[in-house]
Amino acid sequence: MVLSIYDTFSRKPSAITSLNGVVTMYCCGPTVYRDAHVGNLRTFLLSDLIARTIRLSGLSVEMIQNITDVGHMSDDFQEDKMLEQSKKEKIDPFDIARKYEERFHIDLANLNIVPAQKYPRASESIELMLEMISALILKGAAYVGEDGTVYFDAQSFPGYGHISGNRLESLKPGHRYEYVEDGVKKFHADWSLWKPAGDRKAMVWDSPWGPGFPGWHIECSAMSLKFLHGHINVHVGGIDLRFPHHENERAQSNSITGNESVDLWVHGEHLLFEGRKMSKSAGNVVLLDDVIAKGFDPLALRLCFLENRYRSQMDLSWQSISAAHDTIKRWRTKIAIWGASRSIEIDSTILAVLENDLDTPRVTTYLRSVEKDNNLTDAQKANAFLFADQVLGLELSRTQEVQELTPELIDLLAQRESARSAKNWALSDDLRVRLENAGLEISDSSSGQSWSWR
């Protein structure tokens, strides 16, 4: 069996294909002008889960993830995001790119995401893009506009809109990132492949059409076809990239290859935080560093994502992250008690669930039932958890660090127990805050108080 996953293009689950046992994967990477927020990380985790499941099925994966460090225009259609951030931080745009690219890789490591084979940068792939743009012009799929910009001729690609459902004739002028004054393009939905530099001084390269810089969409076509040998089995990205980015990318790539360049288009859904879309204006943009700063294991965020279907909009909260943190601690403790076997046997139930459109919520539910099943041996329970963890990536075999209580904490715990016995709830609450600030988690029950390290 192999993973069958929902394909946005065909609008149905489809089995992943391979060539000589190798699956080629491309995941749209970050635009490195800022830190990736947890919504971005959910998409990057999706590619990791797909790759891990493919490997669990016995196939190999060759994955590429691009680094967008040029060409991605800001929402006001005027300035590249790298240059915009460069002005804000008053440092060179390439320094901006390397700064946030490094942070991106740190985030991936903290989420236990297996690195891709290559992370090509757009700024270092300009020649690839120029070659592709020249080929598109020769094929009649692109042209030089009256403003000196090289445009893709959208009407030259009859299959446009199949991914998103947008009909070319229904698109209104001025859709995001592609607005220019009337008269310079053959058709209002055409998009830029190469833009003239104009007054721009930084991030400018020579080209057959004069100094300039690439459009956003061309980089993924150029890099995916180059580094994945002309064909991509699985292409992953967030649902927000479905249109126009992936629609444009498909048109560009297929115009070069003459056939479908991508077998499956897989999209992860949007992430809300505590009921609202994350935005700077709302002040609710959450980074992985924020999760860590609150004392949570960063893999608690990973577990939160796993407990929601990748194709469903998800509402994340601090409460859900805290609960996931506690669950991971409990599972690691249980596995330490059960004992980890040197060899892990295939659990056909878990594998079948994963290969059925990556149903990770069902896997975590299954593990909870295994945990409580008195008919299973400790060895059977450990095997189920550790087999699943090859995809879940929660490091469940990691030994929990045992930290001794200081005399001061022992005294505070004793004081709080006495306060609870005397029904002095105000003092009890005050002592709880002091204990939690020191790194403990306090739980109360009819049998008394209990504690654990965060």
Residue 89: CB partners within 8 Å, gap ≥ 6? 96
Q: What is d(CA 95, CA 93) in angstroms, rounded to the nearest whole number? A: 5
The response to whether 172 counts as a known ligand-binding position is: no
Instruction: Name the 3-class secondary structure at 300.
Output: helix
The response to whether 28 counts as a known ligand-binding position is: yes
Q: Which residue has the tokens 């690439």?
A: 214
Query: Within a 10 A sphere around the Cβ of 158, how many other Cβ atoms?
Result: 9
* DSSP, residue by residue, 79-148: SBHHHHHHHHHTS-HHHHHHHHHHHHHHHHHHTTPPPPSB--BGGG-HHHHHHHHHHHHHTTSEEE-TTS
The response to whether 249 counts as a known ligand-binding position is: yes
Residue 43: CB partners within 8 Å, gap ≥ 6? 27, 28, 236, 237, 238, 268
* C-beta of residue 210 within 8 angstroms of C-beta of residue 196: yes
Q: What is d(CA 407, CA 167) in angstroms, rounded to the nearest whole number? A: 70
The response to whether 72 counts as a known ligand-binding position is: no
Cα 146 off chain centre by: 39
* C-beta of residue 60 within 8 angstroms of C-beta of residue 233: no
SS3 for 84-103 is HHHHHHCCCHHHHHHHHHHH
The response to whether 304 counts as a known ligand-binding position is: no
Binding-site residues sit at 28, 220, 245, 249, 280
Known binding-site residues for ATP equal: 280
Binding residue ranges for Zn(2+): 28, 220, 245, 249
